[in-house]
């Protein structure tokens, strides 16, 4: 096989209480990568569609080629590849754009090389791409994009990734107000020390969320969707955050939080029923702030990145 196309989904990282340790995959949005072997022993990003010309073509800057390079170095291979990237999600949106590109590229290269790695072993290569794109090798976008579902990164040293249960009727609404926020900028407002009482609150919530997912206990999920570590500091970077959150909870959301590092907000709900109400009300609020809004509905994608052809 000389050419392959792969898809990797967008993701919601953190999921409120799980800063850098929780994430889930979305079912409709994502990036495609078409990968072909070349004989010149070089990695080339030969085209990018859907980015408005904003992404780097240089192989040492694009997350597709950075991830592939990390894998080839590990394998000791000098095989060259041409990369065509089709962006299906907005940049700097908080929906794991840099991660989806890296994962689609890795799934494609693994297939073209005859699957030398089981899927979960591709993760460290994708994390290297995240380090290059936003300064930290966090796994809460790349792990769910690769593996699908709701994922817990229990530990980073060594990497310990656990797939969680997903209640059948758990759904997500994404609210993406039209502006960009880079992960590196929204990490820079965080504190590096946490008061003991906040650490206790946060661990209670993570444990509650995990238990709620396994027990399909929507009320417990709802009570646990609280973040005292990142949200209080990041909210000030997000116009309208408090107003939107209050309104969505009043409309019956299980919870609302910042998707990854923002500016997209995610809402978890039981079923699709309230989605249109959320979107209508959020549009009103963002309109008043002079911001346009794109909204998406998604179930939790349990498949992760995959080869299309």
Ligand X SMILES: N[C@@H](CCO)C(=O)O
- How many Å is the maximal CA-CA distance in the chain? 59
Supply the minimum distance, in Å, between the C-beta of residue 98 and ligand ATP. 4
User: Could you tell which of ligand ATP, ligand X, none binds residue 256, using a CB distance below 5 to 8 A set by kind?
Assistant: none
Least Å distance between CB 97 and ligand ATP? 3
d(CA 16, CA 204): 13
Provide the 10 A C-beta neighbour count for residue 219: 10
Per partner kind, with CB cut-offs from 5 to 8 A, the member of ligand X, ligand ATP, none near residue 91 is: ligand ATP
Handedness of CA 33, 39, 42, 44 (dihedral sign): negative
Which one of ligand ATP, ligand X, none is in contact with 14 (Cβ closer than 5 to 8 A by kind)? ligand X
Number of residues assigned to the chain = 309
Smallest gap from residue 260 Cβ to ligand X (A): 3
Helix %, strand %, coil % of the chain (to 5): 35, 25, 35
Q: Which is nearer to ligand X, 261 or 269 (CB)?
A: 261
Say whether 203 counts as a known binding-site residue.
no
Spatial distance between the Cα atoms of 192 and 211, rounded to a whole number of angstroms? 28
Shortest separation between residue 82's beta carbon and ligand ATP, angstroms: 15
Provide, rounded to whole angstroms, the least separation between the CB of residue 258 and ligand X. 8
CA separation, residue 153 to residues 20, 22, 36, 164 (Å): 8, 6, 32, 10
Task: Kindly state the tokens that stand for 149.
Answer: 């579902």
For 18, which DSSP code?
-
| Residue 252 marked ligand-binding | no
92 annotated ligand binder: yes
Residue 182 interacting entry, from ligand X, ligand ATP, none, C-beta within 5 to 8 Å by type: ligand ATP
- Which residues make up the interface to ligand ATP (CB under 6 A)? 55-56, 61-64, 85, 91-99, 101, 133-134, 141, 182-183, 260-261
For 167-261, strand residue ranges (E) read 170-177, 255-258
Nearer to ligand ATP, 84 or 270 (CB): 84
Is-contact 60 133, C-beta < 8 A? no
Of these partners, ligand ATP, ligand X, none, which one is at the site of residue 187 (CB under 5 to 8 Å by kind)?
ligand X
**Given the rule CB under 6 A, which residues bind ligand X?**
13-14, 19-20, 94, 96, 138, 140-141, 183, 187, 260-261
| Residue 138, contacted partner among ligand X, ligand ATP, none, CB below 5-8 A by kind | ligand X
Count the alpha carbons within 13 Å of 127 in the hemisphere toward its beta carbon: 18
Instruction: Provide, rounded to whole angstroms, the least separation between the CB of residue 141 and ligand X.
Output: 5
Q: For residues 266 and 227, is the Cβ–Cβ distance under 8 A?
A: no
Residue ranges for the known binding site are 90-100
Q: What residue numbers does the annotated binding site for ATP cover?
A: 90-100
């Amino acid at each position: 096989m000389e050419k392959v196309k792969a898809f990797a989904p967008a993701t919601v990282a953190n999921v409120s209480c799980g800063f850098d340790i929780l994430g889930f995959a979305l079912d409709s949005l994502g990036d495609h990568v078409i990968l072909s072997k070349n004989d010149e022993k070089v990695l080339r990003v030969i085209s990018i569609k859907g980015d408005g010309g904003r992404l780097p073509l240089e192989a040492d800057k694009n997350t597709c080629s950075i991830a592939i390079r990390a894998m080839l170095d590990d394998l000791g291979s000098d095989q060259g590849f041409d990369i065509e990237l089709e962006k299906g999600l907005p940049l700097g949106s908080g929906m794991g754009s840099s991660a989806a590109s890296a994962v689609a590229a890795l799934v494609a290269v693994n297939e073209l090389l005859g699957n030398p790695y089981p899927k979960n072993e591709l993760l460290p290569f994708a994390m290297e791409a995240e380090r290059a794109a936003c300064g930290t090798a966090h796994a809460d976008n790349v792990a769910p994009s690769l593996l699908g579902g709701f994922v817990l990164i229990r530990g980073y040293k060594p990497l310990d990734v656990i797939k969680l249960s997903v209640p059948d009727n758990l759904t997500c609404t994404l609210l993406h107000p039209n502006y960009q926020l880079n992960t590196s900028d929204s990490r820079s407002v965080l504190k590096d020390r946490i008061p003991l009482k906040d650490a206790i609150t946060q661990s209670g919530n993570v444990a509650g969320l995990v238990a709620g997912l396994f027990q399909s206990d929507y009320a417990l999920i709802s009570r646990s969707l609280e973040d005292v570590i990142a949200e209080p500091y990041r909210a000030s970077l997000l116009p309208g955050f408090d107003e939107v959150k209050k309104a969505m909870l009043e409309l019956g959301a299980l919870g609302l939080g910042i998707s990854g590092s923002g500016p997209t907000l995610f809402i978890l709900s039981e079923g699709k029923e309230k989605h249109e109400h959320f979107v209508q009300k959020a549009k009103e609020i963002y309109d008043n702030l002079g911001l346009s809004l794109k909204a998406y509905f998604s179930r939790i994608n349990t498949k992760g990145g995959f080869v299309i052809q």
